[in-house]
Amino acid sequence: MAYRSSSQRHAPPSPTQIDLFLEVGRRLDAKGWVAANDGNLSVRESDGTFLVSASGAPKGYLRRDQILRVDSEGKVLSGEGRPSSELGLHLTIYRERPDVSAVVHAHPPVSTAYAVAREPLDACVLPELVLTLGRIPIAPYATPGTPELGASIVDAIRTHDAVLLANHGAVTAGKDLESAYFTMERVEHGARILLYAHLLGRVTPLGTSEVERLLATSGPRAGGPIPCVPADTAVGSDAHRHRETGDEVSVPGTPRVPASLEGADAMDLARVIREVLAERLE
Ligand SMILES: [Zn+2]
């Protein structure tokens, strides 16, 4: 039984906040990034409560009464129905990121395809993505709608505003709803370009010196560590990281060929042969 407090205890959400909530829901639907009642969004209010979409509500046709107010434990304070089944994912992000006040979760097809292929968007390819998000990691697979989904993204969300969810979708965080939504737009747009480049037969990451020159234009981040994998380090570091961690880290569209076949194990050789043959057959 959901706990409900007096509606007098919390000021009603501002009309602007609600309008933005509804608008982001409509955009997610119009862009085809959610199907039926997929996806969910939330906002952290200044009083420490949260607005979240109701479970089962289609985002393209969200009604005002389907935006619920909940506390930090997920108890419903106002609104009708149950909160989204992914509320735990949202609350985990707010706990890990005090700087974040909005979260958007959707299933954009191209980003989700990369999440299904377990191909993180980590190569330094598009200057805009290098400067804004760096790289976009993939959180390990976890069952949707369970506490495990929140736990699966803890490591990645601490240092990234956008995370792909293995075999599931994407989640983005921002200082407000507009910012979290625009990050989702950036992720899907970047993923689409990388997919097209891959279909054209070549994804060309920027080199270290090109990325350093790019970062030098960005003010506060100038001189910081390179946030993605440049072309000239991609193959070697990828192979090393893959062996050391077992993570599926790779440069999208680039066969994961070891720096040298000398010392490559049977698995490496089998994979290289498979990838070369697959490319020839395309
Ligand atoms: Zn989902």
CA of 269 to the centre of ligand 1 (A): 36
CA of 57 to the centre of ligand 1 (A): 13
pLDDT number for residue 246: 35
**What is the token pair recorded at 101?**
């006040």
**What is the token pair recorded at 59?**
């985002």
Better-scored residue on pLDDT, 180 or 256: 180
Mean pLDDT across 187-196: 98
CA of 105 to the centre of ligand 1 (A): 6
pLDDT number for residue 13: 75
Residue (of 128, 255, 281, 135) closest to 198 by Cα position: 255
2, part of any domain: no
CA of 2 to the centre of ligand 1 (A): 23
CA of 93 to the centre of ligand 1 (A): 15
Note whether 95 and 124 are same-domain residues: yes
Note whether 126 and 213 are same-domain residues: no
pLDDT number for residue 16: 87
**Beta-carbon contacts of residue 155 (< 8 Å; ≥ 6 apart):** 139
Residue pair 102/17 in contact (Cβ under 8 Å)? The answer is no
Final residue of a domain: which of 200, 235, 250? 200
CA of 220 to the centre of ligand 1 (A): 34
- Average pLDDT score over the chain: 85
CA of 106 to the centre of ligand 1 (A): 6
1, part of any domain: no
**Beta-carbon contacts of residue 69 (< 8 Å; ≥ 6 apart):** 10, 13, 45, 49, 50, 51, 76, 77, 78, 79
CA of 20 to the centre of ligand 1 (A): 21
Out of 63-77, 134-148, 219-233, 264-278, least confident range? 264-278
pLDDT number for residue 10: 73
Mean pLDDT across 250-270: 50
CA of 253 to the centre of ligand 1 (A): 26
Mean pLDDT across 168-177: 98
Q: In Å, how far from its chain's centre is CA 179? A: 13
CA of 215 to the centre of ligand 1 (A): 33
CA of 158 to the centre of ligand 1 (A): 20
Quick check: 116 pLDDT over 80?
yes
| Distance from C-alpha of 130 to C-alpha of 127, rounded to nearest angstrom | 5
**What is the token pair recorded at 144?**
């949707």
CA of 200 to the centre of ligand 1 (A): 30
**pTM of the model as a whole:** 0.79
CA of 143 to the centre of ligand 1 (A): 10
Quick check: 268 pLDDT over 80?
no
Final residue of a domain: which of 200, 235, 262? 200
CA of 181 to the centre of ligand 1 (A): 15
CA of 64 to the centre of ligand 1 (A): 21
Q: Tell me the CA distances in angstroms from 221 to 52, 112, 127, 215, one per residue in order.
A: 33, 29, 14, 6
The domain in which residue 255 lies consists of 208-281
Quick check: 257 pLDDT over 70?
no
Quick check: 8 pLDDT over 50?
no
pLDDT digits (tens, 9 = 90+) for 27-38: 999 999 999 999
**What is the token pair recorded at 180?**
């979290």
Identify the CATH number of the domain in which residue 37 sits: 3.40.225.10
Final residue of a domain: which of 200, 233, 265? 200
Better-scored residue on pLDDT, 74 or 270: 74
Residue pair 40/23 in contact (Cβ under 8 Å)? The answer is no
* % residues pLDDT > 90 (the chain): 72
CA of 16 to the centre of ligand 1 (A): 26
CA of 91 to the centre of ligand 1 (A): 15
236, part of any domain: yes
pLDDT number for residue 267: 58
Q: In Å, how far from its chain's centre is CA 272? A: 29
pLDDT number for residue 279: 58
Domain count, the chain: 2
CA of 132 to the centre of ligand 1 (A): 24
Per-range mean pLDDT, top range of 98-107, 224-233, 235-244: 98-107
Q: Which residues pair with 54 in a beta bridge?
A: 83
pLDDT number for residue 143: 97
Quick check: 43 pLDDT over 70?
yes
152, part of any domain: yes
Quick check: 152 pLDDT over 50?
yes
CA of 107 to the centre of ligand 1 (A): 6
